Structure 1
Amino acid sequence: MKRPFALLLLAALSLASAQAQAQAPQWPAITQQNKPWTRWWWQGSAVNKADLTHLLTQYQQAGLGGMEITTIYGVKGAESQFIDFLSPKWMDMLTHTLTEAGRLGLGIDVAQASGWPFGGPWVTPADASKYVTYTTYLVKGGESLKEPVSFMQKPIINAIGRKVDLKQLSDPIATNKNLQSLALDQVRYEKPLPLQALIAYSEKGQTVDLTSKVGADGKLSWTAPAGTWTLYALFQGGHGKQVERAGPGGEGDVIDHFSKTATDNYLAYFDKAFKGYNVKPIRAFFNDSYEVDDAQGEANWTPQMFAEFQKRRGYDLRQHLPALFGKAADDENKRVLTDYRETISELLLENYTKTWGAWAKTHDALIRNQAHGSPANILDLYAATDIPETEGEDLTRIKFASSAAHVTGKPLTAAETATWENDHFLSSLSDVKKALDRMLLGGVNHTFYHGTAYSPQAAKWPGWQFYAAVEFNPQNPFWTDFGKLNQYAARCQSFMQAGQPSSDVLLYLPTADAYTRPGKVLLQHFDGIEHGFKGMPIAATSEMLLAKGYGYDFISDKQVQQVKATGKTLTTSGGAVYQTLLVPEAHLMPLPTLEQLLKLAQSGATIVLHNQAPDDVPGLGNLATRRAAFKKLMAQVKFAATKQAGVQQATMGKGRLLLGSDVSQLLAQAGVKRESLVDNSLQFTRRRHAKGHYYFLANWGEKPMKGWVPLQTATKSVALYNPMTEQTGMASVRTSAQGTPEVYLQLAPGETCILDTNEGAIAGPAYTYLNPVAAPQPLAGPWELAFVSGGPELPAKLQTRELASWTKLAGEAGKKFSGTATYTTTFAMPQGTGEGWLLDLGRVGQSARVQVNGQPVATLIGPVYQVFLLKSRLRPTNTLTVTVSNLMANRIADMDRKKEEWKIFYNTNMNAKLKENRGADGLFSAEKWEPQDSGLMGPVTLTPASLGAPVQ
Structure 2
Amino acid sequence: MKRTHLLILFAFLFISQSCTDSAQKEASAEWPEITAETKPWTRWWWHDSAVNPKDLTANMEELQEAGFGGLEITPIYGVKGHENKALKFQREEWMKALEFTLKEGERLDLGIDLANASGWPFGGPWIQADNASKNIKFKTYSLNGGESLNEKIKLIQQPLVRAVGHQVDISEVKFPISSNTNLRELALDQVRFEKPLPLQTLMAYGENDEVLDLTDKVGEDGTLNWEAPEGNWQLYALFEGWHGKMVERAGEGGEGNVIDHFSEEATRTFLKDFDDHAGNVDISGLRAFFNDSYEVDDASGQADWTPQFFEEFEARRGYDLRTQLPALFGNDTEDTNARVLCDYRETISDLLLEKFTVVWADWSEAHGAIIRNQAHGSPANILDLYAASHIPETEGTNPMRIKMATSAGHVSGKPLIACEAATWLDEHFRANLADAKQNFDRYLSHGVNHIVYHGTPYSPQDAEWPGWMFYAAVHFAPTNSLWPDMKALNDYVANCQSFMQNSTPDNDILLYFPIYDAWSERGREMLRHFGASREDLTKDISEFLLDKGYTFDYISDKQIKQLQVEDDQIKAPGANYKTIVVPTTQYIPLATMEKLIQLAENGAKIVFEDHLPASVSGMFDLENRQKKYHELTSSLEFEKQENLSSAQIGKGEILLGDELDMMLQKVQVYPEELAGKGLWFNRVSREDGVCYFISNWGDQTIDEWVTLQRPATEAVWYNPMNRASGKAKLKNSDKSKSQVYVQLKPGESMILQFYKSDVDLEDYPVWEEQNQKYVVEGEWTVSFEKGGPTLPETYITTKLTSWTEQSDELQKFSGTASYKTTFEKPEGDAPAYILDLGEVHESATVYMNGEKLGTLLGPVFQITISTESLKPTNELEVKVSNLMANRIISMDKSGENYKKFYNINFAANKRENVGPDGLFTAVNWEPLKSGLVGPVSLSPVSETDL
TM more than 0.5: yes
Q: Which residue of 1 aligns with 2:855?
A: 859
Residue 320 in structure 1 maps to residue 316 in structure 2: no
2:229 pairs, out of 202, 218, 225, with: 225
Residue 936 in structure 1 maps to residue 925 in structure 2: no
Amino acid at match of 2:619: L
Q: Which residue of 2 aligns with 1:11?
A: none
Once residues 899 and 638 of structure 1 are traced to their aligned partners in structure 2, the CA distance between those partners, rounded to angstroms, is 77
- Whether contact under 8 Å (2:732, 2:738) holds in the other structure is yes
Q: Which residue of 2 aligns with 1:578?
A: 577
Q: Which residue of 1 aligns with 2:649?
A: 652
2:742 pairs, out of 742, 745, 762, with: 745
After TM superposition, list the pairs within 5 Å mapping 1:361-372 onto structure 2. Answer: 361-372=365-376
Q: Which residue of 2 aligns with 1:14?
A: none
Equivalent position SS for 1:163:
coil
Residue 405 in structure 1 maps to residue 385 in structure 2: no
CA shift, 1:725, in A, is 2.2
Equivalent position SS for 1:277:
coil
Deviates more, 1:739-748 or 1:694-703: 739-748
Q: Which residue of 2 aligns with 1:910?
A: 906
After TM superposition, list the pairs within 5 Å mapping 1:460-499 onto structure 2. Answer: 460-499=464-503
Q: Which residue of 1 aligns with 2:566?
A: 566
Once residues 316 and 833 of structure 2 are traced to their aligned partners in structure 1, the CA distance between those partners, rounded to angstroms, is 71
- Whether contact under 8 Å (2:711, 2:736) holds in the other structure is no
Residue 832 in structure 1 maps to residue 831 in structure 2: no
CA shift, 1:738, in A, is 11
CA shift, 1:23, in A, is 8.1
Q: Which residue of 2 aligns with 1:901?
A: 897
2:207 pairs, out of 197, 203, 208, with: 203
Q: Which residue of 2 aligns with 1:842?
A: 838
After TM superposition, list the pairs within 5 Å mapping 1:81-230 onto structure 2. Answer: 81-230=85-234
Q: Which residue of 2 aligns with 1:672?
A: 669
Residue 243 in structure 1 maps to residue 253 in structure 2: no
Equivalent position SS for 1:916:
helix
Equivalent position SS for 2:693:
strand
CA shift, 1:935, in A, is 0.1
Once residues 544 and 135 of structure 1 are traced to their aligned partners in structure 2, the CA distance between those partners, rounded to angstroms, is 45
Distance 1:469 1:928, change over 3 A: farther
CA shift, 1:333, in A, is 0.7
2:716 pairs, out of 715, 719, 723, with: 719
1:46 pairs, out of 50, 56, 78, with: 50
Once residues 940 and 764 of structure 1 are traced to their aligned partners in structure 2, the CA distance between those partners, rounded to angstroms, is 32
Q: Which residue of 1 aligns with 2:3?
A: none
Residue 598 in structure 1 maps to residue 597 in structure 2: yes
- Whether contact under 8 Å (1:395, 1:441) holds in the other structure is no
Once residues 702 and 914 of structure 1 are traced to their aligned partners in structure 2, the CA distance between those partners, rounded to angstroms, is 26
Residue 663 in structure 1 maps to residue 667 in structure 2: no
Q: Which runs of 5+ in 2 are unaligned?
A: 1-22
CA shift, 1:676, in A, is 1.3
Deviates more, 1:676-685 or 1:931-940: 676-685
- Whether contact under 8 Å (1:692, 1:714) holds in the other structure is no
Residue 256 in structure 1 maps to residue 260 in structure 2: yes
Residue 823 in structure 1 maps to residue 791 in structure 2: no
After TM superposition, list the pairs within 5 Å mapping 1:447-466 onto structure 2. Answer: 447-466=451-470
Once residues 113 and 62 of structure 2 are traced to their aligned partners in structure 1, the CA distance between those partners, rounded to angstroms, is 18
Once residues 599 and 154 of structure 2 are traced to their aligned partners in structure 1, the CA distance between those partners, rounded to angstroms, is 54
- Whether contact under 8 Å (1:774, 1:832) holds in the other structure is no
Q: Which residue of 2 aligns with 1:707?
A: 704
Once residues 706 and 331 of structure 1 are traced to their aligned partners in structure 2, the CA distance between those partners, rounded to angstroms, is 56
Q: Which residue of 1 aligns with 2:915?
A: 919
Q: Which residue of 2 aligns with 1:869?
A: 865
Once residues 861 and 28 of structure 2 are traced to their aligned partners in structure 1, the CA distance between those partners, rounded to angstroms, is 26
- Whether contact under 8 Å (1:418, 1:450) holds in the other structure is yes
Amino acid at match of 1:550: Y
- Whether contact under 8 Å (1:477, 1:885) holds in the other structure is yes
CA shift, 1:530, in A, is 2.9
- Whether contact under 8 Å (1:773, 1:834) holds in the other structure is no
Once residues 312 and 934 of structure 1 are traced to their aligned partners in structure 2, the CA distance between those partners, rounded to angstroms, is 62
CA shift, 1:758, in A, is 2.2
Once residues 117 and 45 of structure 2 are traced to their aligned partners in structure 1, the CA distance between those partners, rounded to angstroms, is 12
Q: Which residue of 2 aligns with 1:629?
A: 628
Equivalent position SS for 2:490:
helix
- Whether contact under 8 Å (2:438, 2:697) holds in the other structure is no
- Whether contact under 8 Å (1:39, 1:451) holds in the other structure is yes
- Whether contact under 8 Å (1:692, 1:757) holds in the other structure is yes
CA shift, 1:796, in A, is 2.1
Once residues 837 and 305 of structure 1 are traced to their aligned partners in structure 2, the CA distance between those partners, rounded to angstroms, is 70
Q: Which residue of 1 aligns with 2:548?
A: 548
Once residues 360 and 522 of structure 1 are traced to their aligned partners in structure 2, the CA distance between those partners, rounded to angstroms, is 31
1:802 pairs, out of 799, 802, 809, with: 799
Once residues 353 and 38 of structure 1 are traced to their aligned partners in structure 2, the CA distance between those partners, rounded to angstroms, is 23
Once residues 490 and 748 of structure 2 are traced to their aligned partners in structure 1, the CA distance between those partners, rounded to angstroms, is 16
CA shift, 1:739, in A, is 8.2
1:432 pairs, out of 429, 436, 445, with: 436
Q: Which residue of 2 aligns with 1:891?
A: 887
Distance 1:229 1:731, change over 3 A: same
Deviations 1:284-331 (A, max 9, x none): 000000100001010000000000011111111111111111111111
Amino acid at match of 1:894: S
Residue 513 in structure 1 maps to residue 517 in structure 2: yes
CA shift, 1:700, in A, is 2.1
- Whether contact under 8 Å (2:398, 2:534) holds in the other structure is no
Once residues 286 and 442 of structure 2 are traced to their aligned partners in structure 1, the CA distance between those partners, rounded to angstroms, is 28
Distance 1:851 1:595, change over 3 A: same
Q: Which residue of 1 aligns with 2:531?
A: 527
Equivalent position SS for 1:347:
helix
Q: Which runs of 5+ in 1 are unaligned?
A: 1-18
Distance 1:901 1:739, change over 3 A: closer
2:37 pairs, out of 33, 36, 41, with: 33
CA shift, 1:615, in A, is 1.4
CA shift, 1:25, in A, is 2.9
Once residues 776 and 492 of structure 1 are traced to their aligned partners in structure 2, the CA distance between those partners, rounded to angstroms, is 33
Q: TM-score, normalised by structure 1?
A: 0.96
Q: Which residue of 1 aligns with 2:15?
A: none
2:354 pairs, out of 347, 350, 355, with: 350
Once residues 130 and 404 of structure 2 are traced to their aligned partners in structure 1, the CA distance between those partners, rounded to angstroms, is 33
Distance 1:466 1:775, change over 3 A: same
CA shift, 1:691, in A, is 4.1
Amino acid at match of 1:937: V
Distance 1:313 1:635, change over 3 A: same
User: Identity, % of aligned pairs?
Assistant: 50
CA shift, 1:555, in A, is 0.1
Residue 784 in structure 1 maps to residue 788 in structure 2: no
Equivalent position SS for 1:460:
coil
Once residues 241 and 728 of structure 2 are traced to their aligned partners in structure 1, the CA distance between those partners, rounded to angstroms, is 65
Q: RMSD between aligned alpha carbons?
A: 1.4
Once residues 49 and 580 of structure 1 are traced to their aligned partners in structure 2, the CA distance between those partners, rounded to angstroms, is 55
Equivalent position SS for 2:342:
helix
CA shift, 1:761, in A, is 3.6
Q: TM-score, normalised by structure 2?
A: 0.96
Once residues 914 and 429 of structure 1 are traced to their aligned partners in structure 2, the CA distance between those partners, rounded to angstroms, is 20
- Whether contact under 8 Å (1:774, 1:945) holds in the other structure is no
Once residues 60 and 285 of structure 2 are traced to their aligned partners in structure 1, the CA distance between those partners, rounded to angstroms, is 15
Q: Which residue of 1 aligns with 2:393?
A: 389
Once residues 337 and 837 of structure 2 are traced to their aligned partners in structure 1, the CA distance between those partners, rounded to angstroms, is 65
CA shift, 1:834, in A, is 1.5
CA shift, 1:689, in A, is 2.2
Equivalent position SS for 1:728:
strand
- Whether contact under 8 Å (1:326, 1:333) holds in the other structure is yes
Once residues 735 and 443 of structure 2 are traced to their aligned partners in structure 1, the CA distance between those partners, rounded to angstroms, is 33
- Whether contact under 8 Å (2:833, 2:864) holds in the other structure is yes
- Whether contact under 8 Å (2:27, 2:758) holds in the other structure is no
Amino acid at match of 2:927: P
CA shift, 1:469, in A, is 3.6
- Whether contact under 8 Å (1:152, 1:191) holds in the other structure is yes
CA shift, 1:200, in A, is 0.9
Deviates more, 1:284-293 or 1:225-234: 225-234
Deviations 1:53-92 (A, max 9, x none): 0010000000000000000000001111111100100011
